[in-house]
A = this chain, B = another copy of it.
Amino acid sequence: MVEIEIPENHPRKVSLEIREKIIKGYSTHEVATAGLLAHGRGEAFDYLIGEKTNDFAKQAIAVAVAALLSAHHPVISVNGNVCALVPEEIVQLSEITGAPLEINLFYYRKEREDAILRALKSAGAKEILGTHDKPSEIIPELKSNRRKVDPNGIGSADVVLVPLEDGDRTEALKAIGKYVITIDLNPMSRTAVYSDVTIVDNIIRCLPLMVERASEMKITPHDELLKIVENFDNEKNLADSMELMKTRLGDLSKDIGLLRQKKLLGANE
């Protein structure tokens, strides 16, 4: 794996630095090959939302945190990409909300599970559910390796946060009645559409904000938390994110004209 130094003035510097994290996670076996492709898809959608946390995402973050804090038994699902991108922050969110971490891998390999376990522990995690040495329950609706869930974790959870999740599993979790929160840059993915709360944002930016919100909202009364959750309209949230992408495409389309003109002027100098 070649590590590349990114020049300070590179137009895609932040995006390239995040990319380095995921590639590093791949070299340490946390991230699956398919996880690299998924990250690339995320990059494209992140570009379309302006690579910043927009108002609709901030609202969804507040609702997600309210749902985690007001749940009887919340659980946070962790996969390779989550672990490679935000190991410390996911552990912090788990501690503040009291939602245990559970490892769930679409492409299960013991080596991958061990690598994620190691990374989470070195990020400060004390207990981690869903590992191979524990008994596991089956989600009947699901045929991949991820049909296995920990009976003390997602198996008995009422609210689950499944960041960067695949569509089949999200549908299965909905079918067995879980309240599902996700983080997904593609508002049109099945996961985004089927979840109860979809945070359309880059997990790198959104997790620190979730940790911050969770610290603030920890003292919010239970009935107020429930009200925040009940008043949320995820369909509108998704529509808002797509509306922003449309606006951005319109704006960027004007920029392209300018960029090309600049190039032509440069060539004539």
Contact = CB atoms under 8 A, between A and B. Distances in A.
B43 A256 contact: no
Number of identical protomers: 2
A30 to B, nearest CB: 14
A26 B33 contact: yes
A263 B37 contact: no
A263 B194 contact: yes
Interface stretch (A51-59, A60-68, A241-249): A241-249
Contact of A36 (B2, B37, B194): B37
B40 A252 contact: no
Interface stretch (A120-128, A185-193, A201-209): A185-193
Interface residues of A, number: 48
A238 B250 CA distance: 12
B263 A174 contact: yes
Contact of A245 (B187, B249, B256): B249
Interface string A148-190: 0000000000000000000100000011000000000011101
Contact of A242 (B11, B26, B239, B252): B252
Given A235-B260, A249-B245, A2 B107 contact: yes
Nearest to A247: B246
A221 interface: no
A230 to B, nearest CB: 15
A47 B192 CA distance: 15
Which residue among A41, A43, A107, A260 has the maximum number of chain B CB atoms within 10 Å of its CB?
A41
Contact of A40 (B37, B245, B260): B37
Interface in A1-16: 1-2, 11
A257 B242 contact: no
Contacts of A260: 193-194, 234-235
A45 interface: yes
A259 to B, nearest CB: 5
Interface in A21-45: 22-23, 26, 33-34, 36-45
Interface of A: 1-2, 11, 19, 22-23, 26, 33-34, 36-45, 47, 107, 167, 174-175, 186-188, 190, 193-194, 234-235, 238-239, 242-243, 245-246, 249-250, 252-253, 256-257, 259-260, 263, 267
Given A23-B33, A47-B188, A242-B250, 4 more contacts: A2-B107, A23-B34, A41-B43, A234-B260
